[in-house]
Structure 1
Amino acid sequence: MVGTTSFVKKLGISVMKVSESKSSSWWYNHHMRAASRAILERIPLVDLVLEVRDARIPMSSEYAQLRKFPSSSKNIIVLNKMDLASHSKTKEWMEYFKELNYIPYAINSHNKDNIKEFLNFLQARIRDIRRSTDSSNTQTTTIMLVGIPNVGKSAFANSLHQIGRISATEKGKLKHATVSPHPGETKNITSFKIASNPNIYILDTPGILPPEILDAEISSKLALTGALIDSVVDQSMLAHYFLSILNFSDEYKKWKNISTMDKKENQIINDDHTQDCVVQSVRGALFQEIASFKGKMKDEKDMIQLIEAQFTTLRKAFNVSLDSFEDANSIVATKLINLYRTGRLGHYTLDTLPRTCE
């Protein structure tokens, strides 16, 4: 499920141009180049490498630099943001990675119970490595987190740090990783203690993109999930891409019983687009447009016509009434993408498994 080819191509090409032109001070800037070198130098020295990926794009969010190192028991693929992805598809991707002899683990870095389970798994894995390498007397284990921007590495590091604290004295000396909705905020490699007796340290690293992305489909998925800063992507184009995905999915069918008329006419909707009443209004509006659609989803012209109708309806659902058509659509697009990225409009896995493994 990746939407229509035309939306993927249009969005992907616009992103690729930024990457190829090197005109963006954000794309693979000097911070990323320096961090990339530092990470490559340290990978052979750490005990474990946790490659954090986005569960919505398990393949497209691959950390390309790890290809320079052979797959081994030192590497674990962590599928973060599992709460935003399709549960059944995440299970399939886990099995796929196991078939390739990777060690996968799906997490929600904001779920304490999930982090506790992962920490137990991690400690058991470390014990196995020590036994197999005859290093059971080693007092300190170092683990490196790597990944592309905005897959949630820093939030993951913070959660492991908080859950893994042992003594009350450590509670008073918390050091937090910088967590931001904007990709590329982490600039340096930072160490966090997550366990004692023996000591285990996590190294949080900056998110690194490849110097160029030559695949339009991957570019589109990275843009939609927020791995790229939004200033390099046209928000309306991004919203068109998401709606093409939604329209092909079955997610909207869950909203059948939502009435867009529940909201009183005199009710004022503020700028908080995540308000429950707004979310319900948006869901109901989208369901009605898709359910009443008489065209063919696979026909590009019909799909564009449906999306234009959805934008018109969403202006009412979001209470956007600017005179400028373009400004109104831009606001609608931004609000819509924010709802998608917070999981309020369904759970989607954008990457499809290789045919031989489906």
Structure 2
Amino acid sequence: MAGTTSFVKKLGNSVKKVSDHKSSSWWYNHHMRAASRAVSHRIPLVDFVLEVRDARIPVSSEYGHLRYFPSSSRNIIILNKMDLASHSKTKEWMAYFKEQNYISYAINSHNKDNVKEFLNFLQAKVRDLRRSMHLSDTHTTTVMLVGIPNVGKSAFANSLHQIGRVTAAEKGKLKQAKVSPHPGETKDITSLKIASHPNVYIFDTPGVLPPEIVDVERSSKLALTGAIADSLFDQTELAQYFLSILNLSHEYKKWGKFSELDKENQILNDHTQDLVVQAVRRALFEEIFAFKGNLEDENDMVQLIEAQFTTLRKVLNVNSDSFDAANSIVASKLVNLYRTGRLGHYTLDSLPSTYY
């Protein structure tokens, strides 16, 4: 979309500078290099590989190292964080993967029923494998989770583990994978039991990015969804990119029928409170609705985003002597609201034009 181009380039180039800086302590550091080697070594040894992707970016969050291994019915694409993506777009992406002969499954790793359904699906696959290969009852099935940072592998592994405990003896001995909202926190391969009779174990692996990302659009999407550490670039660039997406979407139109807010009960210092979220939505809606420019024109888009930042500083009660510092605070809050789904559900990757 033309109105987002300048923001994509600006953010994508910032990410590229980080990836080009080989001395960076975060980007493809020794932990990622070691993890990449360990995962590549183990993939041929496990029974199933679950490639966890972010449902908001089904292609941009691809785990590139799997390209070095042949596609197999034992490889399953997990579209995690489906609750943050467009429901209709997720269905379209799953249909696309099916047409490409990939098995895919949409997941919200925090939804117990959804995870239980997937575990039943996986156990059916395990039974099929055992029958086709004439495996003994004592054979332990192994499943490996792979993916880029912050797609929710550890949260998914923990959910499978908790739901998969089936005997009283296993309860109370819960071994959890480390979960963090920050990318790159998992450093080692962790084994968790997710089923008994027969035994099924899942390996949670560290997130690994490619050594270099040259596509600025993909870089921007990875940054916005949190696959790359926020500390590596300006939060304002992230928020500007998100607002350019919001302004060209239909999500904001859902916010036009809000009743007058009870401002006396607003907790202005906590941007996650429902009343404040509603105030943010209302403010963004009114700015877009009142804007008379052409949002496909980048200069007009910049003008609208500047107006939105001015309004949000007031709505979020952000006071600072520094203009840049105030904008940075607003940006951080705005990005958090986007990432937690409070400002709508967006799928950033578009299906190939040849698919339609």
AA matched with 2:89: K
The Cα shift of 1:112 comes to: 0.2
CA distance in 2, matches of 1:330, 1:2: 25
Are 1:352 and 2:321 counterparts? no
The Cα shift of 1:263 comes to: 3.8
- Deviation sequence 1:120-151 (CA, Å, 0-9, x none): 00000111122222325452100000000000
CA distance in 2, matches of 1:124, 1:268: 49
1:15 corresponds to which residue?
15
1:109–1:156 CA contact under 8 A, matched in 2: yes
2:268–2:276 CA contact under 8 A, matched in 1: no
The Cα shift of 1:241 comes to: 0.2
2:75 corresponds to which residue?
75
2:254 corresponds to which residue?
254
CA distance in 2, matches of 1:272, 1:179: 24
Are 1:300 and 2:275 counterparts? no
The secondary structure found in structure 2 opposite 1:168 is: coil
AA matched with 2:280: V
CA distance in 2, matches of 1:302, 1:39: 47
The Cα shift of 1:70 comes to: 1.0
Q: Where do 1:182-221 residues align within 5 Å? A: 182-221=182-221
Are 1:343 and 2:341 counterparts? yes
Alpha-carbon spacing, 1:314–1:68, altered in 2? closer, same or farther (3 Å): same
The Cα shift of 1:356 comes to: 1.1
Q: Where do 1:273-292 residues align within 5 Å? A: 273-292=271-290
CA distance in 1, matches of 2:86, 2:277: 20
Structure 1: 4+ residue segments shifted above 4 A = none
Q: Where do 1:1-358 residues align within 5 Å? A: 4-259=4-259, 262-264=261-263, 269-358=267-356
- Deviation sequence 1:222-265 (CA, Å, 0-9, x none): 00000000011210011000000000000000000125x5243x
CA distance in 1, matches of 2:136, 2:217: 46
1:235–1:330 CA contact under 8 A, matched in 2: yes
AA matched with 2:284: L
AA matched with 1:131: R
Alpha-carbon RMSD across the aligned residues, in angstroms, is 1.3
CA distance in 1, matches of 2:35, 2:226: 21
Bigger shift: residues 312-321 or 104-113: 312-321
CA distance in 2, matches of 1:150, 1:205: 12
CA distance in 2, matches of 1:268, 1:353: 41
1:3–1:241 CA contact under 8 A, matched in 2: no
AA matched with 1:326: D
1:258–1:283 CA contact under 8 A, matched in 2: no
Alpha-carbon spacing, 1:36–1:2, altered in 2? closer, same or farther (3 Å): farther
AA matched with 1:339: L
Segments of 5+ residues of structure 2 without an aligned counterpart are none
The secondary structure found in structure 2 opposite 1:170 is: coil
AA matched with 2:16: M
The secondary structure found in structure 2 opposite 1:171 is: coil
CA distance in 2, matches of 1:56, 1:68: 24
For these two proteins, the number of residue pairs brought into alignment is 356
CA distance in 2, matches of 1:136, 1:355: 47
1:223–1:233 CA contact under 8 A, matched in 2: no
CA distance in 2, matches of 1:96, 1:102: 9
CA distance in 2, matches of 1:2, 1:45: 46
TM-score by length of 1: 0.97
1:84–1:342 CA contact under 8 A, matched in 2: yes
1:2–1:351 CA contact under 8 A, matched in 2: no
AA matched with 1:237: E
CA distance in 2, matches of 1:339, 1:331: 13
